[in-house]
Chain A
Amino acid sequence: KAGVTQTPRYLIKTRGQQVTLSCSPISGHRSVSWYQQTPGQGLQFLFEYFSETQRNKGNFPGRFSGRQFSNSRSEMNVSTLELGDSALYLCASSLEIGGRGEAFFGQGTRLTVV
């Protein structure tokens, strides 16, 4: 079956712009989480969604937002981009809720802010 699909794979934006990243989970998975990966900070949790509800949010400014649709697809948005937002953004989906299941990761969207 198809894995987690993230689009686009690569993105270059200018400071001050906004960006929307998309994640399609594995069919049947209703839990979607987002992570930011940078060389300096490593992997940091952004959000967790289940059945269109945000269950958990990481320690990021309000410029970072997300949502989940009824088909479990998720989007994250970053407004007023800063150079420090350059990172690999990873989406993961899970069948089970509650930390006991396996999280399947997409290949990520590499965002470069210039």
Chain B
Amino acid sequence: GNSVTQMEGPVTLSEEAFLTINCTYTATGYPSLFWYVQYPGEGLQLLLKATKADDKGSNKGFEATYRKETTSFHLEKGSVQVSDSAVYFCALSEYNTDKLIFGTGTRLQVFP
């Protein structure tokens, strides 16, 4: 079945450091790919998405590129802030459905 694998956390960084959170997927067909973020006590918010191969999603300085050849959708940010501290989830949606399959989540902690 379809699945998403993302790197274990926590990821601990100093402010202004470069961030990479790895995400790979297994899927039949052509899924859409997403990164969601969850702040403490909150639901999930969509951070960015990509719907086809080579698409780059970007938002708030975060970027991720849909790589079909490596089945990856790694999240990057050039300079993290303390306010970016949260749990980040990589997800895919199967064709013709709104069902999301999530990775296990990666907790990011940014210190001043």
Chain A contacts to B: CB under 8 angstroms: 4, 31, 33, 35, 42-43, 45, 48, 50, 55-56, 58, 90, 92, 94, 97-108
Contact residues in A for B102 (Cβ distance below 8 Å): 35, 42-43
Among B32, B43, B44, point to the contact of A99 (Cβ < 8 A): B32
- The total of chain B residues at the interface (CB under 8 A) is 25
| Bound Cα distance from A50 to B99, whole angstroms | 12
Query: Residue B111 at the A interface, CB < 8 A?
Result: no
Show the binding face of B for A, using Cβ within 8 Å: 31-32, 36, 41-46, 49, 51, 89, 93-105
Q: Determine whether the beta carbon of A48 is less than 8 Å from that of B99.
A: yes
Q: Judging by beta carbons under 8 Å apart, are B43 and A45 in contact? A: no
- Is the CB–CB distance between B98 and A105 below 8 Å? no
A67 to B31, CA, bound (A): 26
- Are B44 and A97 interface neighbours, CB within 8 A? no
Do the beta carbons of A48 and B97 come within 8 Å of each other?
yes
What DSSP secondary structure best describes chain A's contact surface?
strand
User: Which residue of the partner chain, among A43, A55, A92, A100, contacts B89 with CB atoms under 8 Å?
Assistant: A43
What is the chain B residue whose CB lies nearest that of A31? B98
User: Which residues of the other chain, A, contact B44 by a CB distance below 8 angstroms?
Assistant: 90, 92, 105
- Give the complex CA separation of A6 and B68 in angstroms: 36
**Which of B36, B89, B99 touches A56 (beta carbons < 8 Å)?**
B99
Contact partner of A103 (CB less than 8 A), chosen from B51, B95, B100, B104, is B100
- Tell me if B46 and A103 are in contact (CB < 8 A): yes
Known: A92-B100, A99-B31. 6 other contacts (CB 8 A): A4-B43, A98-B97, A99-B99, A100-B32, A100-B51, A107-B41
Evaluate contact between B94 and A99: CB separation under 8 angstroms.
yes
Chain B residues in 8 Å Cβ range of A31: 98
Beta-carbon contact of A107 and B98 below 8 Å = no
Residue pair A45, B31 in contact (C-beta under 8 Å) = no
A56 to B2, CA, bound (A): 15
Closest approach, in angstroms, between the C-beta of B23 and any C-beta of chain A?
14
